[in-house]
Amino acid sequence: MDPEALKKYSALHPKPAGLTLQYGTAGFRTKAEQLDHVMFRMGLLAVLRSRAVLSTIGIMVTASHNPEEDNGVKLVDPLGEMLHPTWEEYATQLANAEERELQKIITEICQKAAVNQDKDASVFIGRDTRPSSKKLSQSVIDGISVLGGQYHDYGLVTTPQLHYLVCCRNTQGQYGKATLEGYYEKLSKAFTELIRQSPSSGESQRHLKIDCANGIGALKLSEMEPYFPKEVLIHLYNDGTKEKLNHLCGADFVKVHQKPPRGLDMKPNERCCSFDGDADRIVYYYKDATGRFHLIDGDKIATLISIFLKELLAKVGQTLKMAVVQTAYANGSSTRYLEETLKVPVHCAKTGVKHLHHKAQEFDVGVYFEANGHGTVLFSKAAETKIRQLAKEEEDDEKRKAAKVLENMIDLINQTIGDAISDMLVIEAILALKGLTVQQWDAVYTDLPNRLLKVQVADRRVIDTADAERRAVTPPGLQERIDELVKKYKLSRAFVRPSGTEDVVRIYAEADTQENADALAHEVSLAVYHLAGGKGAPPQP
């Protein structure tokens, strides 16, 4: 490491005085103009991480569903997973260090993590379509270069594509070819094989309207379109040519506001979906004949995938263990349907994709989705080997066919992370193979009415939770009060959890009617206000 070069380059990417940032589930995210130093330093960190694990590391410049003025950065570990928690702490230390301490902190990280500075380092870089992303990814490159790392800049890619590319590279091509063409070919081949087996294959065209949040999803879907079978017609809206990224559109907007995005004209019973800004989340929706809007969120997507996989696993006749992982925000009706009707075990994990991903790895087949539409399916090595073997060698026709469908599903699913493009193709294939309309899918179960609220508090740390955030351990008396309130309503539950980013407490309540869900949420918000140090005026109903 050349201390003089580090000093010189670091001065070109100065840290604004008094700014401290925290590496969270989504990496670093804030206003774009405050991120130049962070990008440079994450370039440095990626080189250290690469030398520590002797593998290629990914850096994605994106702020996902945040407004266009924001930006952010997250690191991708060797198998396409999120950065290791210990290194999240290193990231925070490095981002917040004063310039004169940089050298010292890098040396400390090298000692703690046994980093050999003489090893080769390799970093893959990707970015979204924000106006600030190109310049910020140049700052990343400066950081990589100062420490003598090699890099490949993939330019504009979706977040899941970068995760995929990193995984391909570090599995020496076992997971696929580490190029965008490789990604398009692998997914479209599996998708085409699945669609060709559907009952109505070749007769009717399947139309799908996609709101691309004015983001990277539009660019990549149009690149991928030539690879799609001709039975499938996608229509792109909010493609980024006219409007701002994520403005009144995208998966997050649709989920939060429970209404269609701007710029997409919906006719009754048409299948529509929305990606978020970096294309790692997806939600579906439609309008019924009376004009009522129906949202199909991550819970219902997980349910559809589970129904399909469970049928196939039963046909194959293997004793593979399947489970669904949700968070406390999953609608109670989905949990009930999965456990009682489908007889699939459901596990609850803390909010945040990394917690769900980690839990899902415990099963042969682990389906995980957050209600916001971020999720995927994981297959254990053993399950995958078994399924591929059966698809090749099984003598019973029915079993072999089912194994072949499972094999195509394995290839179509991006197992590194939630991927809107991959998830969309999985859903389209399942609906075609099962001959389901969007209304029939929606009717599998009816969501319990629910309400999300937040209460401002002086210090969010006064609330501590247990049982995957479903119970409040502190402050004393709060959980007892919530338990009393929940008893007043039918089919009800409620929980509170501190926000990961601001001094607010988030409240979720559900009950048999919207009126009861609203009343319960309000009563719980009052309890939080009085027992957990609420700020400002008490919550109004």
**216 close to 279: Cβ distance less than 8 angstroms:** yes
| Residue numbering of the annotated binding site for Mg(2+) | 64, 276, 278, 280
Do the bridges between strand 70-76 and strand 150-156 make them parallel or antiparallel, or are there none, so unpaired? unpaired
Question: Which tokens in the block code for residue 179?
Answer: 């190029």
**459 close to 533: Cβ distance less than 8 angstroms:** yes
Q: Which residue is associated with the tokens 């140090």?
A: 533
**197 close to 160: Cβ distance less than 8 angstroms:** no
DSSP string, 161-183: HHHHHHHHHHTTTSS--SSHHHH
| Residue numbering of the annotated binding site | 64, 276, 278, 280, 370-372, 497-501, 506
Q: Which of 10, 64, 198, 492 is catalytic?
A: 64
147 strand-pairing partners: none
SS3 category, 189: helix
| Residue numbering of the annotated binding site for substrate | 370-372, 497-501, 506
* Half-sphere exposure at residue 85, Cβ-oriented, CA atoms within 13 angstroms: 5
Residue 524's closest CA among 433, 454, 430? 454
Is 64 noted as a catalytic residue in this protein? yes
Type of residue found at 490 = K
Residue 355's closest CA among 375, 383, 380? 375
CA distance 117 to 110: 8
Sign of the C-alpha dihedral, residues 11, 47, 182, 361? Answer: negative
Active site residues: 64
